[in-house]
Chains A and B, each alone.
Chain A
Amino acid sequence: DSGVTQTPKHLITATGQRVTLRCSPRSGDLSVYWYQQSLDQGLQFLIHYYNGEERAKGNILERFSAQQFPDLHSELNLSSLELGDSALYFCASSVGTGYNEQFFGPGTRLTVL
């Protein structure tokens, strides 16, 4: 158990819908990172927040957005869902801003039908 929690564990929805994935970082961690893992694209970095502010952006689609709240939990919002958005979405957290300090959560498996 990494100490990072993600909810829900599984999510099944339809094309065109909007969903919100939630991540609670380890106690004391200020950074939250979001990743997408799919069969065809592999593991992709989406976005990084540190203490409520966006620090780095990767291959995140415009239909996706994220935020980190004052209590440091983070939400990833996915809208106008397409079949190709079906994937595992991981959150990771770290104390500082170093990728080498990250601990990954168990992931949320999103299935778009």
Chain B
Amino acid sequence: GQQLNQSPQSMFIQEGEDVSMNCTSSSIFNTWLWYKQDPGEGPVLLIALYKAGELTSNGRLTAQFGITRKDSFLNISASIPSDVGIYFCAGLMNYGGSQGNLIFGKGTKLSVKP
């Protein structure tokens, strides 16, 4: 089946540092989504991307839809302690029929040292 390779699996950074993570796939997606999950809670959508090459920001977060449509990147600038959590990418393909399928990466666990 389809798989998303998300890296890195975990990151330990100092407060104030920038963070980069990415997802790659052998399949083409027509939408990329980035989520954050805090312990004991459900994921929260951070950014949605709809077009190849699209670059979208949400505060200190910036995400890009790769030109090949097979990858996406998330950057967090000037990290703060509340950025701690697990970040997931998700790719959506062929939505519109009965086979719309959202595929998730395994997550990047971010730890921030004050």
Q: Convert B7-48 into 0s and 1s, putting 1 for each residue whose CB lies closer than 8 angstroms to a CB of A.
A: 000000000000000000000000101000000111111001
Question: Smallest Cβ distance from B89 to chain A, in angstroms?
Answer: 10
A52 within 8 A of B: no
Is B104 within 8 A of A45, CB to CB? yes
In addition to A42-B104, A56-B100, A106-B41, 11 A-B residue pairs with Cβ atoms within 8 Å of each other are A42-B107, A45-B102, A54-B98, A55-B98, A56-B98, A57-B101, A59-B1, A99-B92, A99-B95, A104-B44, A106-B42
In the complex, whether B58 has a CB less than 8 A from a CB of chain A is: no
Q: Which residue of B lies closest to A90 (CB)?
A: B42
A83 to B: closest C-beta gap in Å: 21
Of the candidates B40, B42, B101, B105, the one whose C-beta lies within 8 Å of that of A56 is B101
A residues neighboring B (CB under 8 Å): 2, 4, 42-45, 48, 54-59, 90, 92, 99-100, 102, 104-107
Which B positions have Cβ atoms within 8 angstroms of A? 1, 31, 33, 40-45, 48, 88, 90, 92, 95, 97-107
Asked if A44 and B42 make an inter-chain contact with CB atoms under 8 angstroms apart, the answer reads: no
**Chain B binding surface SS class:** strand
Is there contact, CB below 8 Å, between A92 and B42? yes
Complex interface: chain A residues within 8 A of B105 (CB):
42
Separation of A73 and B33 alpha carbons in the complex (Å): 25
Known: A56-B95, A56-B98, A58-B101. A99 touches B33 (CB 8 A): yes
Write the chain A residue with the least CB distance to B105. A42
